[in-house]
Structure 1
Amino acid sequence: MAKREIRLFGDPVLRTVCSEVTEIDAGVHAMVADLCETVNEPGHAGLASTQIGYTLRAFSLHIDDEIEYVLNPELIEVSGEPQPTGEGCLSVPGLWFDVMRYPYAKVRGIDLDGREVIIEGEGLKAQALQHECDHLDGKLYISRLERASRGEAMRQIRTADWF
């Protein structure tokens, strides 16, 4: 379909709690194509539907040269001790902060044929699964920061040339 423009902090769609995909129609196929094409850029590890203006539960990943997607993802398992993990977001460009993330995560959802999909991983993949599920619940990673870091993030956002 098309590489889409990334929505930035301040756009209300980023605070939207996404609806489940209930019918896999041409619009859902187009959304998945847009997610997969847009995430296929250097430095893009994951992309949630809200980041390109959709409000259905879906995201794509681009990790280790593999592009994956999932509809109606549900974070079903995390394990290990949460640890500070350096994180950024395409919707908050130029910022990088430590966020507490589990080292392992597993997501269950469906594909475009309605078949169950399980995506799981450690490290960057675990972080991306948690980050993208947050997006679909209307949360940006900066909301998970400790108070002082969140204040610094907001200061950086207010002075950013894109804001």
Structure 2
Amino acid sequence: MSVRHERSRSVDRRVRVQGRPLDAYPTLPPEAERGSVRRVTVVGEEVLRRPCREVTEFATTELSALIDDMFLTMHVADGAGLAANQVGVDLRLFVYDCPDDYGVRHVGHLVNPVLDLPDPGSRRLIDDFEGCLSVPGATMTVPRTDRAVARGFDKDGNPLVIEGTGYFARCLQHETDHLTGHTYLDRLSKRDRKDALRQMEDRRDDVFARRAIKAAHLGR
């Protein structure tokens, strides 16, 4: 998921890492410092269209390396969230570095997530702009609930419950959609989907160029 710049410029320094509050956290998370940049898949590729597999082995070098790479790839692409199939790996896993509507920065990863949304009677849908790193350059208005809870595990197999409101709730829903083989385009009308694909066609080269420049600046 791509992040809107006005949110990323918040002056509030509060942060929650894996759901736990901290007073401060580096701009570039430690995982990203260890990672390597991977290619981001683009809508139309088969790996984005099929449900991802459950992670069955935890606390492995391979899983930790994947998470590190996903954090750096997300950072280079100016993203707020990234699912494993967006780097070509069909596992139920996503990472996030996303602000909410109150200026709190949320950073972490979630393995085998299950999403809980409010009951329909108490559900509040918010129309807001949404982008996707796998639909480079396009943004469209998508309705999402303003609250969400994602339950899963960390890379060592410890249970996690991550709660989100506002823009961060949108991020949790967006990334969980990826793991079921869907992108936000699937939530659009045919007309809006065509509009998003036209935006991508017009802007993708510029997006790829910015990513390459940022990766080069980081020496990656």
Q: TM-score, normalised by structure 1?
A: 0.90
Letter in 2 for 1:36: F
Q: Distance in 2 between matches of 1:67 and 1:161?
A: 27
More helix by share: 2
The 5-angstrom pairing of residues 123-162 of structure 1 reads 123-158=166-201, 162=205
Letter in 2 for 1:153: A
Question: 1:33 matched to which residue of 2?
Answer: 68
| 1:86/1:97 contact within 8 Å kept | yes
Q: Which has the larger radius of gyration?
A: 2
Question: What residue ranges of structure 1 are gaps of 5+ in the alignment?
Answer: none
| 1:45/1:62 contact within 8 Å kept | yes
For residues 71-99 of structure 1, give each alpha carbon's deviation from its aligned partner in whole angstroms, at most 9, with x where no partner exists.
00110234632121110101111111001
Q: Distance in 2 between matches of 1:96 and 1:81?
A: 22
Residue 58 in structure 1 maps to residue 112 in structure 2: no
Q: Distance in 1 between matches of 2:38 and 2:201?
A: 24
Question: What residue ranges of structure 2 are gaps of 5+ in the alignment?
Answer: 1-34, 100-104, 206-220
2:132 counterpart SS class: coil
Question: 2:112 matched to which residue of 1?
Answer: 72
Deviates more, 1:27-36 or 1:125-134: 27-36
CA RMSD between the two structures? 2.0
Residue 107 in structure 1 maps to residue 142 in structure 2: no
| 1:16/1:50 contact within 8 Å kept | no
Q: Distance in 2 between matches of 1:136 and 1:21?
A: 12
Letter in 1 for 2:115: L
| 1:7/1:91 contact within 8 Å kept | yes
The 3 A distance-change label for structure 1 pair 156 and 36 is closer
Letter in 1 for 2:40: I
